[in-house]
Structure 1
Amino acid sequence: MWYKIKAFITFLLKSTNQHGIHSPFVYNLITKCFYHKTDISKVDSFNSVKQWLHKNHKTINITDFGSGSKVFKSNKRKVSDIAKVAGISNKKSLLLLRMLNYFKPQNILEIGTSVGLSTAILSIGNPNATINTLEGCTNTAAVAQNLFDTFKLENIKLNVGNFKDTLIPITSKAKFDFIYFDGNHQKEATLQYFNLCLKTVQNNSIFIFDDINWSKEMQEAWFLIKKHPKVTVTIDTFFWGIVFFRKEQVKQHFKIRV
């Protein structure tokens, strides 16, 4: 907890808003997306999905392949608690909806489905996209699939299994223009997933890494990702690290308050 507080104070001291941004691409992204209003109909759809999960008090056993939870002390958890505590926050959800509306990605990959809240946002944000999502735990995947069926989110394909078994095949046969990394908050795994997904990159591809300030090792992973020669522009929002591969851009790194 103290590490994140210290990291946040450092972020506040070094971050900015649209003022002083000399990159037209980043300036437009901030003013026309980050600080723009979210489509109210999509917000309503998101709230319906969130409330559905919050009313699900079924207890399931979790198989956690990542860094574990700093909140839950047991692998037996209520679906409602998972959605409230470990699910994507409202702030991230609204920004994700705005980014999907702004960029309109057609081929989306999510690494870490959990109970399906963030996946539902990807579908709501762009119902015309093809979405592949990966989940390691069969019980949380079952909850997610029930959610997708209930809300008729038919553009989602759920792939269940250890990421070591599911990520390599899917990145070997497809190109993605939007990848959301939220499956493992450990340095080694994050870098492994990043390197595997690089083969899917196109000029306009976007990677979003969740919780880059979760720990010292996640900050180290983010530092190495920024240094990669294929990476041109990055944006640190404190809770996300956003990566662009646009060859027409000079290499620049931004810290933006959202």
Structure 2
Amino acid sequence: MSYLSQTIDYLLYRARSFKLHGVHSPFVFNLYNQVILHDGAFYAYPRVEAIREKLLTDNRTIEVTDFGAGSKTINYKTRKVADIARTSAKPAKYGQLLFRLVNHFQPRHVFELGTSLGITSAYLAEAARKAQVYTFEGCPTIACVAKENFDYLHLRNITQITGNLDQTLQPQLEQIPQLDFAFFDGNHRYEPTMRYFKQCLSKAHENSIFVMDDIYWSSEMKRAWQEIKKHPQVGQTIDLYFVGLVFFRTTQPKEHFTLAF
């Protein structure tokens, strides 16, 4: 999608979004005020960001296998770790949002579809040390770099699953009783995104939270986001532009919020 299209999408999002005074749902009001907009510090932030700084100066060259839509800026099969960290890792603002969400809800079973270098995985695992974080990565060499970071941070509650999500997701879903939290960042195309979403729905429950990454990244992702909002099992959604939050609460009406972030 062109830079102009992305700019228009962002301006439209800003025009639609609102802050606390426009939120009438007590659940969303409290979540927005206490978690999404929280600007205080947590112990994990400097720990994980130190890893990012290290990766940004890592000039090792690795072979990359990409099963998704690829990068908008780098499409070489051989890449420097520093370039991957610069272009593919989620910014601190969104990694720390994931940390706060997991810290707030304390899920027990967490899926991350798309490990990359492990920065968001680390935020997820740091937020709930009693949870088990299952992180899926298609590229073995990238997964090895992520493993180095997990070991450096002494994160023992992360299970890595390496390989194509088409083959790895369903078997792992069958191994858990329920899916409490999922971050979808493994494929930025419509069909795989919807397929993985529906597979994960089989283990979702009343209090599950799904986070969809890059919901305006392309026309395919915008289409997927609109279909997810309409899905009969989806109760409430929050559009934060770069990510979309999905809830399944049956105790309140189906509502969609676009909030400034």
Q: TM-score range by the shorter chain?
A: over 0.9
The aligned counterpart of 1:118 is: 120
The amino acid across from 1:163 in the alignment is: L
Tell me how far 1:152 sits from its aligned partner.
1.0
Partners of 2:126 and 2:56 lie apart in 1 by 18
The aligned counterpart of 2:247 is: 244
Partner of residue 213 from structure 1, selected from 203, 213, 216: 216
The TM-score normalised by the length of structure 2 is 0.96
User: How many residues in Structure 1 have an aligned counterpart in Structure 2?
Assistant: 258
The aligned counterpart of 1:133 is: 135
The aligned counterpart of 2:78 is: 76
Whether 2:164 is the aligned partner of 1:142: answer no
Tell me how far 1:183 sits from its aligned partner.
0.6
| Cα deviations by residue, 1:157-193 (Å, 9 ceiling, x for unpaired) | 0001110110011112311100000010001110000
Partners of 2:19 and 2:108 lie apart in 1 by 29
Q: Is the 8 A contact 2:49 2:92 kept in 1?
A: no
The amino acid across from 2:243 in the alignment is: W
Partner of residue 92 from structure 1, selected from 91, 94, 97: 94
The aligned counterpart of 2:232 is: 229
Unaligned residue ranges in structure 1 (runs of 5+): none
Tell me how far 1:40 sits from its aligned partner.
3.2
Partners of 1:46 and 1:137 lie apart in 2 by 22
Indicate the percent of aligned positions where both proteins have the same amino acid: 40
The amino acid across from 1:84 in the alignment is: R
User: Aligned ranges for residues 13-92 of structure 1 at < 5 Å?
Assistant: 13-92=15-94
Q: Is the 8 A contact 2:114 2:186 kept in 1?
A: yes
List structure 1 runs of 4+ shifted beyond 6 angstroms.
none
The aligned counterpart of 1:253 is: 256
The TM-score normalised by the length of structure 1 is 0.97
Root-mean-square deviation (CA, aligned residues, Å) is: 1.1
Tell me how far 1:55 sits from its aligned partner.
2.9
Partners of 1:228 and 1:241 lie apart in 2 by 14
Q: Is the 8 A contact 1:110 1:180 kept in 2?
A: yes
Whether 2:103 is the aligned partner of 1:101: answer yes
Unaligned residue ranges in structure 2 (runs of 5+): none
Q: Is the 8 A contact 2:67 2:138 kept in 1?
A: yes
The amino acid across from 1:76 in the alignment is: T
Q: Find the residue that maps to 2:206 and give its secondary structure.
A: coil
Q: Is the 8 A contact 1:83 1:117 kept in 2?
A: no
Partners of 1:200 and 1:2 lie apart in 2 by 39
Partners of 2:10 and 2:63 lie apart in 1 by 33
Partners of 2:153 and 2:45 lie apart in 1 by 14
Q: Find the residue that maps to 1:60 and give its secondary structure.
A: strand
